[in-house]
Every structure is written in structure tokens, then in C-alpha cells.
């Protein structure tokens, strides 16, 4: 067997070191590609998140507008209900303030209780035509 010279050992070490460097460079290249892909994906996700956050802000604004509108409509509805109650009370008060309305209310009540036309004419001082009209209107109901 031949003795291995120092130059041959150095040559083998240089070749082994070169191969090791090439393998390391390959790993570094592969890792840099992977990092670049991850960075691209991260950028896309950040853009998507930004768009979603903008959409959430828009929706929150719209919800606030709808809430304000609903509150406004609610207030107007309460005001309308109060106005309708006031009108009903005024109408009821006018019904009892008007002497003619009292007479007709009494005549209607008598018709409902089954009074005859002569009794209605006498008690309410109504002409026959009005008494007959009341009888025909309220007997059908």
C-alpha cells in the first residue's frame, strides 16, 4: 500500500469542504425560497386582514346609522301614539260635550235595549224620520 501524502489529504479535505459548502448553499437557497414564500403569504394575509378590518369598520358605521334611525323612528312612533291617544280623548270629550251627540247616543242605547220607535221619539225628542233611521242602522248591527 502506498502511503497517503499530505497533499492528497489536503486535496480530500478541500473536496469534502467544497461539497459541504455546496450542500450548505443548497440548504440556504432552499430556506431563502421558503422564507420568501412565507413572506409573500404573510403580505397577502395582512392585505386581506386590512380589507376585512375596513369592511368591519364600514359595517359598524352602518349599524350605528341604523341604530340612530331606529331610535328616531321609535321616538316618532311614541309621539304619534301619544297624539292618537290625545285625539281619541278629545273626540270622546266632544262626544259628551255636544248636546245633540248626547241625544243620539241615548237614542242608540235605547235602540240597543229594544225600545220602540214611539218611545225613542218621545224620550229623545227626535222626528220620526231620524228615529226610523237610527232603528234601521242599529238593528242591522
**pLDDT tens-digit map of 7-35:** 889 999 999 999 999 999 999 999 999 99
* 89, 107: one domain: no
| 104 and 116 share one domain | yes
Say if residue 91 is in the same domain as residue 46.
yes
- 91 plus 108 within the same structural domain: no
Q: What's the pLDDT at 139?
A: 74
Q: 108: how many CB neighbours lie within 10 A of its CB?
A: 17
- Kindly state the average pLDDT of the residues 55-61: 97
Residue 21 forms part of a structural domain? no
- Residue 140: band (very low, low, confident or very high) from pLDDT cuts 50, 70, 90: low
- Tell me if 47 is assigned to some domain: yes
Domain that holds residue 84: 42-96
pLDDT recorded at residue 74: 96
Closest residue by Cα to residue 124 from 139, 105, 98, 96: 105
Q: Are residues 87 and 103 in the same domain?
A: no
Give the total number of structural domains in the chain. 2
Kindly report whether the global pTM for this prediction surpasses the value 0.75. no
Question: Looking at residue 95, what is its pLDDT?
Answer: 64
Domain membership flag for residue 33? no
For 135, residues 6+ apart whose C-beta sits below 8 A from its C-beta are 111, 117, 120
Those residues whose C-beta lies under 8 Å from the C-beta of residue 103, and which sit 6 or more positions away, are: 124, 125, 126
Q: State the Cα–Cα distance between residues 26 and 29, nearest whole angstrom.
A: 5
Whether residue 19 lies inside any domain: the answer is: no
- Same-domain status, 138 and 105: yes
More confident residue, 1 or 2: 2
Helices H / strands E in the chain, number of each: 4, 0
Same domain, 61 and 107: no
* Residues 54 and 71 placed together within one structural domain of the fold: yes
- Dmax over Cα atoms in the chain, in whole Å? 155
Amino acid at each position: 500500500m502506498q502511503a497517503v501524502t499530505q497533499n492528497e489529504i489536503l486535496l480530500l479535505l478541500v473536496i469534502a469542504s467544497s461539497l459541504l459548502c455546496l450542500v450548505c448553499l443548497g440548504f440556504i437557497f432552499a430556506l431563502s425560497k421558503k422564507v420568501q414564500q412565507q413572506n409573500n403569504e404573510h403580505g397577502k394575509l395582512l392585505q386581506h386582514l386590512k380589507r376585512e378590518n375596513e369592511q368591519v369598520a364600514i359595517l359598524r358605521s352602518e349599524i350605528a346609522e341604523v341604530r340612530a334611525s331606529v331610535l328616531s323612528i321609535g321616538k316618532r312612533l311614541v309621539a304619534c301614539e301619544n297624539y292618537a291617544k290625545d285625539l281619541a280623548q278629545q273626540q270622546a270629550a266632544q262626544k259628551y260635550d255636544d248636546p245633540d251627540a248626547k241625544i243620539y247616543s241615548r237614542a242608540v242605547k235605547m235602540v240597543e235595549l229594544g225600545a220602540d220607535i214611539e218611545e225613542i221619539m218621545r224620550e229623545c225628542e227626535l222626528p220620526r224620520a231620524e228615529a226610523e233611521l237610527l232603528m234601521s242602522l242599529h238593528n242591522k248591527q
